[in-house]
């Protein structure tokens, strides 16, 4: 098994073993054992960095459903390497953090099971080369994240946030699945490598644009792009380790990975460019604008995550325009857009993971995340304060932190994109740097809120639930490690660029992997250029807006809550639930006769309608055997008894007439020389009649309203219609044989199976597997009955011995 496959399956195997280990070692924090898994996987993946940096890739394929071209194919290249290292590296730090954050009174075995399921699913997403396998893991990330968000299920907010995230992301996943099927219909393959190779021949297909839109729908919902971002703030009800892992480094990056992976497929198209860059740019602005009004630190970080994801998405959209142009034109666009997107992808995981952990420490130590109650914590929590400053200033794009480097690249990209003469950028291109700069000002403001209103100002002990003090050294290891990466990447960015980012660039742009733009080093200083002037302007304007925010925060009240997307989501669910309740109450009446009525009417409309619409009703009776007079007599008895049941005055009369029908059918079997069927019919009819008599004996007396003439007429019409449809179908099937009968094959039962009785031979040999399954079903039912009897006996009755 390859290392990549091992990386995918080890977390799933660990998830199955965690309950056993937890049971055997109840006093040991199970997190210490689980910590070994992501640490080992991170080291194993890191061993491939030198070879990946040289341009090598690793493809492994195993059969799964080959008849449908579905193979378990995994692919390790520069792009999947970035995500693999983030998933395992940040995952190891999150697990270390959770060991000290979560109490041993929590259901730790469930927490780590869910976490391992999510880790394995995310690794499956980024390493899968077959898009159907990718989809399986994609939906598994939604399910496992639902379990993690709802970990504190006793909280209403946790249940609400988990359901909201599941509905939105799974809905997007279904759309993405349809898009994948369209891609397969165009290209004839599910493999990403092969799709990239042949997609150029299918760009004129009528399925090309719908497949693109559906794929982006799935990516936008998973990566919380506007207007699907509303699930992410509610997901903050999860424990802080979950927020630090899912919503800063992994799950929300899955949509970004999808966009990056399919850029060689759809890049260069105007729709792809405008949707990704436009939606990303607006998400950047809207997330930063909404973050300022939040009073909960985790909610503020949630909206900041939305904003930063929009920035990354916008960069990928801008970079995709390079596939529309010659490789030697606007080379800086390639570098400063896609390269900046990959760079900020890593930077965001480091500073946002550290910030989430610091917020978790604040909540853990003082008992609240409410900004209105916090202040003056710097004196009590100096290390946490230092990490918060590093993370916040990096997110604000200030030196000497890694966020400054990627933010400057972002400004370079939006400044150059307005110069393009494609996709009407000469008209609308000016909006990109303007909106980006305004959003960056808002970003600076909420970063200052995190630092100043949490750690500076007056200390209000009376508003805190617990006395303030610094976290334990164990809890600080993870955020301090991430903070060190934030600073270290700033001073040594080209180590990351040469070994991690450039191979990933070659994955996004396979045909450009040897061009000069990949050799340009990352530098923190480019002179007093426009980008630096924009940063200085952010510092000045952002500071003034932060200091005067009490005068302009009233703008958030201009839009009523009834107009928000959250309110639209809640109202939509409410209306859907009300509609489903109305429909359910309409047909779930509690009366069996109503259920039968609905089924029979549906059968008449569906089957009868198909017969009429397709003209399939066709039969010929010229070659049929003549019907004898006694056969007409028996048929008359069946018909008369069936009609008489509708007008019976007592249950006993109905049972007797029903029995007459059954025994008359048994006579037909005798006349048609089927004694085994006749015997079975007689036995079944006798037992059924006896059971009917027994059951009806305990029913209440027959009431007059049960015999309303109107209901009987309706029953009569429906019964005749159902019988007529069955007769027409049987006659049409009999007269419209498309294939030779298989009866000739079974006539050789003696030779093929060694049995003289053809019926027994079919049951025992030709249908052996089906019969075996039927026996297994009976065995399971018997075990269930036996278990129920023993359970009842254990409550006081005598114990049943074997």
Q: Are residues 724 and 768 both part of a single domain?
A: no
Q: Are residues 731 and 767 both part of a single domain?
A: no
Q: How confident is the model at residue 150 (pLDDT cuts 50, 70, 90)?
A: very high
CA atoms within 13 A on the CB side of 559: 10
Q: Cβ distance 68 to 27 under 8 Å? A: no
Q: Are residues 553 and 699 both part of a single domain?
A: no
Higher local confidence (pLDDT), 623 or 102:
102
Question: Which stretch of 56-60, 668-672, 713-717 has the lowest confidence by average pLDDT?
Answer: 713-717
Average pLDDT along the chain: 87
Q: Are residues 717 and 781 both part of a single domain?
A: no
Q: Are residues 650 and 552 both part of a single domain?
A: no
Q: Are residues 448 and 547 both part of a single domain?
A: yes
Q: Cβ distance 114 to 102 under 8 Å? A: no
673 Rama sector, left if φ>0, alpha if ψ -120 to 50, beta otherwise: left
- Taking alpha carbons only, the member of 243, 184, 238 closest to residue 211 is 184
Residue 219 falls inside a structural domain: no
Domains held by the chain: number: 3
- Taking alpha carbons only, the member of 280, 284, 304, 282 closest to residue 292 is 304
- What pLDDT shows up at residue 798? 44
pLDDT(507) > 60: yes
Residue 576 falls inside a structural domain: no
Handedness of CA 638, 642, 644, 648 (dihedral sign): positive
Q: Are residues 416 and 545 both part of a single domain?
A: yes
Which position has the token pair 């006993």? 652
Residue 394 falls inside a structural domain: yes
In 646-767, which ranges are continuous DSSP H helix? 651-671, 675-697, 709-735, 743-746, 749-753, 758-761
Q: Are residues 709 and 763 both part of a single domain?
A: no
Q: How confident is the model at residue 335 (pLDDT cuts 50, 70, 90)?
A: low
Question: Which stretch of 6-15, 283-292, 693-702 has the lowest confidence by average pLDDT?
Answer: 693-702
- What pLDDT shows up at residue 321? 83
- What pLDDT shows up at residue 702? 65
Residue 655 falls inside a structural domain: yes
Residue 1 falls inside a structural domain: no
pLDDT(801) > 80: no
Instruction: Tell me: cis bond preceding 227? Omega within 30 of 0 counts.
Output: yes
Q: Are residues 627 and 702 both part of a single domain?
A: yes
Q: How confident is the model at residue 356 (pLDDT cuts 50, 70, 90)?
A: very high
pLDDT(589) > 90: no
pLDDT tens string 204-228 = 899 999 999 999 999 999 999 999 9
- What pLDDT shows up at residue 666? 92
Q: How confident is the model at residue 303 (pLDDT cuts 50, 70, 90)?
A: very high
pLDDT(54) > 70: yes
pLDDT(800) > 60: no
- Range(s) of the domain holding residue 704: 608-738
Q: Are residues 733 and 785 both part of a single domain?
A: no
DSSP 422: S
Question: Which stretch of 15-29, 377-391, 487-501 has the lowest confidence by average pLDDT?
Answer: 15-29
Q: How confident is the model at residue 708 (pLDDT cuts 50, 70, 90)?
A: low
Higher local confidence (pLDDT), 615 or 106:
106
Residue 671 falls inside a structural domain: yes
Domain boundary among 496, 531, 558: 558
- What pLDDT shows up at residue 326? 56
Domain boundary among 558, 585, 618: 558
Average pLDDT over residues 317-343: 74
Question: Which stretch of 47-51, 146-150, 351-355, 461-465 has the lowest confidence by average pLDDT?
Answer: 461-465
pLDDT tens string 275-293 = 999 999 999 999 999 999 9
Average pLDDT over residues 445-473: 89
Q: How far is CA 613 from CA 293, 605, 617, 634, 730, in A?
A: 60, 11, 10, 34, 17
- What pLDDT shows up at residue 512? 57
Higher local confidence (pLDDT), 447 or 647:
447
pLDDT(325) > 70: no
- φ and ψ at 624, to 5 degrees? -75, 155
Which position has the token pair 């008369």? 640
Return the number of other C-beta atoms located less than 10 Å from residue 128's C-beta: 26
Average pLDDT over residues 711-720: 81
Average pLDDT over residues 533-554: 92
Burial class (CB in 10 A: 0-12, 13-18, 19+), 515: middle
Residue 392 falls inside a structural domain: yes
Residue 74 falls inside a structural domain: no
Q: Are residues 422 and 552 both part of a single domain?
A: yes
Q: Cβ distance 81 to 503 under 8 Å? A: yes
For 768, the token pair is 């052996």
Average pLDDT over residues 541-561: 88
- Taking alpha carbons only, the member of 665, 669, 673, 672 closest to residue 635 is 665
Average pLDDT over residues 45-59: 92
pLDDT tens string 606-646 = 998 888 888 777 777 767 778 888 888 999 998 899 888 87
pLDDT(748) > 80: no
pLDDT(560) > 50: yes
Average pLDDT over residues 399-420: 89
- What pLDDT shows up at residue 419? 73
Overall pTM > 0.75: yes
Alpha-carbon dihedral 451, 453, 456, 459, rounded to 10 degrees: -140
Angle at Cα 642 formed by Cα 641 and Cα 646, nearest 5°?
A: 105
Q: Are residues 459 and 510 both part of a single domain?
A: yes
């Amino acid at each position: 098994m390859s290392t990549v496959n091992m990386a995918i399956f080890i977390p799933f195997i660990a998830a199955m073993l965690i309950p056993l280990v937890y049971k055997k070692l109840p006093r040991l924090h199970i997190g210490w054992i689980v910590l070994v898994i992501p640490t080992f996987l991170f080291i194993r993946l890191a061993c491939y960095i030198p070879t990946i940096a040289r341009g090598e890739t690793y493809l492994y394929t195993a059969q799964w459903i080959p008849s449908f071209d579905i193979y378990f194919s995994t692919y390790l290249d520069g792009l999947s390497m970035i995500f693999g290292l983030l998933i395992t590296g940040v995952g190891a730090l999150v697990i270390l953090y959770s060991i000290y954050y979560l109490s041993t009174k929590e259901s730790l075995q469930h927490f780590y099971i869910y976490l391992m399921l999510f880790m394995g699913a995310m690794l499956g997403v980024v390493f899968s080369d077959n898009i159907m396998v990718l989809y399986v893991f994609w939906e598994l990330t939604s399910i496992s994240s639902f379990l993690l968000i709802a970990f504190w299920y006793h909280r209403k907010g946790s249940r609400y946030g988990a359901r909201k995230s599941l509905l939105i992301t799974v809905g997007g996943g279904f759309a993405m699945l349809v898009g994948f099927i369209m891609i397969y219909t165009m290209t004839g393959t599910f493999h990403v490598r092969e799709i990239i190779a042949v997609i150029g021949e299918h760009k004129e297909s009528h399925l090309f644009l719908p497949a693109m839109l559906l794929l982006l729908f799935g990516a936008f919902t998973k990566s919380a792009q506007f207007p699907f971002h509303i699930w992410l703030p509610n997901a903050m009800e999860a424990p802080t380790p979950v927020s630090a892992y899912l919503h800063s480094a992994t799950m929300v990056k899955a949509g970004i990975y999808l966009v990056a992976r399919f850029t060689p497929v759809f890049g260069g198209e105007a729709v792809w460019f405008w949707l990704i860059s436009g939606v990303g740019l607006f998400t950047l602005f809207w997330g930063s604008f909404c973050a300022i009004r939040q009073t909960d630190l985790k909610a503020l970080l949630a909206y900041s995550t939305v904003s930063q994801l929009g920035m990354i998405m916008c960069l990928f959209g801008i970079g995709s325009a390079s596939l529309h142009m010659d490789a030697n034109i606007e080379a800086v666009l390639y570098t400063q857009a896609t390269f900046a997107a990959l760079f900020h992808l890593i930077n965001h995981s480091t500073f946002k993971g550290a910030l989430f952990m610091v917020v978790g420490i604040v909540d853990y130590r003082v008992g609240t995340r409410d900004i209105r109650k916090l202040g003056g914590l710097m004196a009590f929590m100096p290390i946490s304060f230092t990490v918060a400053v590093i993370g916040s200033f990096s997110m604000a794009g200030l030196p000497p932190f890694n966020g400054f480097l990627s933010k400057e690249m972002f400004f370079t990209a939006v400044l150059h994109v307005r110069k393009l003469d494609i996709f009407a950028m000469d008209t609308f291109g000016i909006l990109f740097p303007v909106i980006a700069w305004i959003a960056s000002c808002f970003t600076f403001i909420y970063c200052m809120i995190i630092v100043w209103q949490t750690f500076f100002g007056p200390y209000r002990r009376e508003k805190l639930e617990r006395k303030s003090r610094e976290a334990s050294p164990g809890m600080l290891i993870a955020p301090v490690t991430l903070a060190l990466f934030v600073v270290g990447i700033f001073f040594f960015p080209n180590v990351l660029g040469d070994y991690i980012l450039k191979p990933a660039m070659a994955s996004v742009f396979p045909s450009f992997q040897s061009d000069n733009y990949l050799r340009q080093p990352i530098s923190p200083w480019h002179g007093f250029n426009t980008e630096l002037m924009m940063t200085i302007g952010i510092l000045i304007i952002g500071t003034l807006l932060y200091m005067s925010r009490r005068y302009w925060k009233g703008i958030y009240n201009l839009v009523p809550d009834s107009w928000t997307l959250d309110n639209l989501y809640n109202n939509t669910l409410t209306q859907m639930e009300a509609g489903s309740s109305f429909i359910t109450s309409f047909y779930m009446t509690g009366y069996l006769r109503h259920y039968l009525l609905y089924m029979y009417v549906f059968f008449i409309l569906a089957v009868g309608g198909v017969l009429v619409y397709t003209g399939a009703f066709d039969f010929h009776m010229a070659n049929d055997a003549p019907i004898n007079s006694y056969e007409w007599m028996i048929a008359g008895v069946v018909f008369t008894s069936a009609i008489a049941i509708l007008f019976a005055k007592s249950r006993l009369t109905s049972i007797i007439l029903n029995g007459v029908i059954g025994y008359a059918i048994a006579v037909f079997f005798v006349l048609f020389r089927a004694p085994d069927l006749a015997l079975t019919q007689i036995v079944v009819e006798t037992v059924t009649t006896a059971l009917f008599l027994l059951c009806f004996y305990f029913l209440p007396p027959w009431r007059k309203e049960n015999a309303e003439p109107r209901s009987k007429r309706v029953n009569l019409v429906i019964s005749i219609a159902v019988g007529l449809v069955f007769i027409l179908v049987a006659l049409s099937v009999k007269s419209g044989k498309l294939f030779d009968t298989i009866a000739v094959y079974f006539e050789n039962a003696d030779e093929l199976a060694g049995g003289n009785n053809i019926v027994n031979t079919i049951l025992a040999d030709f249908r052996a597997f089906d019969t075996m399954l039927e026996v297994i079903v009976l065995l399971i039912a018997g075990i269930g009955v036996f278990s129920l009897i023993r359970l009842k006996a254990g409550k006081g009755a005598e114990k049943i011995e074997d």
